[in-house]
Amino acid sequence: MYFVAVFEKQMNMKKTVILFTTLLACVFLTSKTFAQEDLVRVFRWWIPQENSYITVADGEFQDGQLINWGWTGKTLLFFAYKSPGPGRVAIYGWENPVSRTYISVCDDEFTDDQMLKWGYKNKHLQYYALTRRGPNTVCIYRWHSAKRGAWLTVPEENSDETDGLIKKGYNHKTYQYYGIYRVVDAAIYDQL
């Protein structure tokens, strides 16, 4: 009888350990899934007729819309977040219908009044970006073409574009924020 009681106690402990391990695995997998779902791809498009660029978050416009409007050259720049969080800044998109230019700006980088005075309209939230460098991040810069009043978002990894951008009239390179760098087949990293 004693052996039966000891055996049952050991079986109950094994069940408890298995249950606890299963719960931990569920919590871990759920947090990974949430991190993946909170990420959004950020693209750059180019319109040859205007010789202009636009930075858009995945889902901000449908690809078919952009193509119909004459945009081409869709390029994945980096990943950002869909929701606010610690160490993140809101990024807003603005358009200038007169110069037909677009700009993505950090929250409080320019006041809404300044943007309106410069002719920009249709402010809308695009995504949330990191304010500090960390593992798996890429510094994001914005270039300005004073001649056209155009803006261009460029990750630091594309430094080979610098000479071409200067030849196209872009200058005044300024730091913006940090994006999450991922190649298409990369797994979600633990820090997310």
Tell me the domain boundaries of the chain: 1-37, 40-180
Q: Which amino acid is at 155?
A: P
pTM: 0.72
So what's the pLDDT on residue 122? 94
The pair of structure tokens assigned to 72 is 């081409």
Structure confidence at residue 185 (pLDDT): 43
Q: d(Cα 80, Cα 38) in Å, to the nearest integer?
A: 8
- Among residues 101, 94, 97, 186, which one has the least CA distance to residue 138? 186
pLDDT of residue 127: 96
Say if CB 174 and CB 141 are below 8 A apart.
Answer: yes
The pLDDT value given to residue 192:
43
pLDDT tens, residue by residue, 143-172: 888 777 788 888 887 666 777 778 878 888
Strands 101-106 and 121-130 turn out to be unpaired
Q: Which residues of the chain have pLDDT under 70?
A: 1-36, 158-160, 182-192
**Residue 17 to residue 3: CA distance in whole angstroms:** 21
The contacts found for 105-111 with CB under 8 angstroms, 24 or more apart, are 106/176, 106/177
Given this model, what pLDDT does residue 125 score? 96
- Nearest CA among 74, 43, 84, 73 for reference residue 60: 43
Q: Can you tell me whether residue 190 is helix, strand or coil? A: coil
